[in-house]
Amino acid sequence: DGPFGVAVIDLRTGAELVAGSREPHPQHSTIKSWVAVAVADAVEHGSLRWDEPLRVEPSDLVFAYQPIAAEVPAAGRTFTVEE
């Protein structure tokens, strides 16, 4: 219960479809969708590989709630893009 807003913009025509509030809202977990699309696109175009290692250090964990924090020890950890 609370304000919500959803907007879709056709990047070719500029046409907009908006439901709910036109006020800006934080993306919260919806950002995961955009990151997943960007990563898949980078893999498809060859600038990233699913098995490419990514190093995560405790200093990279800047948000108050990050479930991945439980998997990153003080010495850091290497994940693959796929993980």
Residue type, 10: D
Element holding 54 (H helix, E strand): strand 53-56
Torsion-angle region of 7 (φ positive above 0: left; ψ -120 to 50: alpha; else: beta)? beta
pLDDT in tens, 1-37: 677 888 899 999 999 999 988 787 777 777 888 899 9
pTM of the model: 0.60
pLDDT at 3: 77
Give yes or no for residue 54 having a pLDDT over 80.
Answer: yes
Which helix (H) or strand (E) segment holds residue 39: the answer is helix 31-44
Residues 6+ apart with CB under 8 A from 27: 34
Euclidean distance between CA atoms 83 and 45, whole angstroms: 19
Q: Is a pLDDT exceeding 80 seen at residue 57? A: yes
Contact, 28 vs 58, CB < 8 A? no
Paired tokens of 22: 């036109």
